[in-house]
Amino acid sequence: MRRSLRKLLDFEFERIVFAQLVAFGAAAGMGAIYHCAMPLIAAALIYEHRSAGALDVTAINRAFFPSNAFVSAIFLLAVTIDVVSHH
């Protein structure tokens, strides 16, 4: 029971991060390019959560470092392309 509650709370963190990214896009007036990148970010967050579930060092490293780098790169590209295409 304790482990499943922990996994649920851990996944809640990814959901909050995703919701904040979507809210940022709405508040900043981002367009379709930004919002089309959100499924890629959601997939990376889900991958990160599932990979970290193994609770071994290799899985955690694989989950956090490459996944967060991917999320950061997609976010940067989406914001940059969206802003440049609107000006």
What tens digit of pLDDT does each residue of 47-86 get?
A: 887 776 666 677 677 677 888 899 999 999 999 999 999 8
pTM tops 0.85, yes or no: no
Assess contact for 18 and 41: CB atoms under 8 A. Answer: yes
What tens digit of pLDDT does each residue of 7-30 get?
A: 555 667 888 989 999 999 999 999
CA angle 34, 36, 40 (to 5 degrees): 100
CB-based burial, 37-47: b 16+ in 10 Å, e otherwise: bbebbbebbee
**Domain-wise residue ranges, the chain:** 2-86
